[in-house]
Amino acid sequence: MGAPFARGFAAFTGRVFGPYQAAVVRMGFGLAWLAFLLREWPERRVLYGDRSPWSLDLAGQLLADNGAFTVLTWFGGRFWFELVYHLAVLAAVLVVLGWRTRASGVLFMVTVLSLQNRNVFVGDGGDNVLHVMAVYLVLTRCATVWSLDARRRRAGADRSRGAVAIWVVLGAALTAAQFGGFSGGTLDWVSAARPYPGFAPLLWGLWTVAGLWYAVNRWWPSGEPRAVLDALATMLHNCALLVIATEVVLIYSTAGWYKVQGSRWQDGTALYYPLHLDYFAPWPWLSGLLGAALLPVFVITYGTVAVQVAFPFTLIDRRVKNVLLAVMMAEHAGIAVVLGLPVFSLAMIAADAVFLPTTVLLRAGAGLSALRVRLAASRTGRTLPR
């Protein structure tokens, strides 16, 4: 028993599990958040800014009760809101590209939490998934592949000067927020509103570890401290990826079992009603066409419940799991088109990607690379060899 345990522990501390899945999750959540921000850009001030019916005073009272984190309550006025909102857009782009992912991932998390906790009454369900996953994403090594960071590592480019500059700027901003007296209770180390530490330990801990990582790489690049830090980072990544997978399983299992208890899901008419609501009808003709077909509505309603309840149990069989995963992704794509919930659907598809087989992802990546080469050759007028 000792030898298998030792091999398992060595793999857990020395092997980054699911690097391609983590990269797809990173890009998927970045795209979902970016799509939401761009879609709501014309109404951003009404949703989260200085024109919101949910005023800063009301938001502050709620934050004092639930201990949630946001930077939008630090200052009033339009300038601060616009700065945070457009930093959120920038962070989403950087996360999708995988540029300086340790720093951009933290900025992504801060902006997601800040905007969503500013007005908790805005969202379509996908915001809850983004809210949770943005925190876990910081703890993963999601830029190991398919990122600008990975390309820079392969090229052997020196990243130290830019990394130090970003680290100093973020440290100065965190110091000003912590000791400037304007962050309220959002950066408390402990709070009466919650039985757990606040975001100050997390943010200071991430900043300290980033500086320690640079120092070890700079002065002990091949010594024991580097090996220890690398093992700890790998373990943290593997644990975070496992938590993300567990969250997805819990989302589907709880949703499925709650649906089982609903009378509309029991009689097979649950899908019929949203198809006849103008709020969920971006394409009225399509909603009307599907809503008039009672048998497909009945089958989809029961099929949704069956797939969600069964999904946790299919993880023991890879082939069945892959089939149900494809069905659920197709269902979310249908929800995006028929019911007009693209951000929710994209967030769930990104979360589902943690279960995608590596072979499928590698084939998709190879196909996209070949397509990019062909497009580049067509622009230059060259002919690719056969």
| DSSP symbol at 181 | S
**Which token pair is 329?**
């992704």
CA distances, 356 to each of 86, 229, 307, 346 (Å): 32, 29, 17, 15
Q: What is the pLDDT of residue 226?
A: 83
| DSSP symbol at 191 | B
What is the number of other CB atoms lying within 10 angstroms of the CB of residue 46? 15
Residues 248, 251, 254, 259: is their CA dihedral positive or negative? Answer: negative
Phi, psi of 198 (to 5 degrees): -80, -160
Per-residue pLDDT tens, the chain, 386 aa: give them: 566 666 777 777 778 899 999 999 999 999 999 999 999 999 999 999 989 999 888 888 888 888 788 999 888 889 999 999 999 999 999 999 999 999 999 999 999 999 999 998 887 777 889 999 999 999 999 999 999 999 988 887 666 778 889 999 999 999 998 888 888 777 877 666 566 667 888 899 999 999 998 888 888 877 788 888 888 999 999 999 999 999 999 999 999 999 989 888 988 889 888 888 888 888 888 888 888 888 888 999 999 999 999 999 998 888 999 999 999 999 999 999 998 889 999 999 999 999 999 999 999 989 888 888 888 777 766 555 55
List the one residue out of 153, 77, 82, 66 whose CA is nearest residue 117: 66
Provide the 3-class DSSP secondary structure of residue 109.
Answer: helix
Q: Any idea how long the chain is?
A: 386
What is the rounded distance in angstroms from the CA atom of residue 359 to the CA atom of residue 129? 26
Burial 207-216 (b: 16+ CB within 10 A, else e): beebeebeeb
Q: Which residue has the tokens 């109404």?
A: 43
In DSSP terms, which residues pair with 194 in a beta bridge?
191
CA distances, 320 to each of 231, 242, 310, 314 (Å): 33, 20, 10, 6
Note the pLDDT tens digit of each residue in 255-271. Answer: 999 998 988 898 888 98
Provide long-range contacts, Cβ within 8 A and 24+ apart, for 84-92.
Answer: 84/111, 84/114, 84/115, 85/37, 85/44, 85/48, 85/49, 85/115, 87/111, 88/33, 88/37, 88/112, 88/114, 88/115, 89/34, 89/37, 89/38, 92/30, 92/31, 92/33, 92/34, 92/37
**Which token pair is 175?**
């110091």
| DSSP symbol at 268 | T
What is the rounded distance in angstroms from the CA atom of residue 173 to the CA atom of residue 182? 12
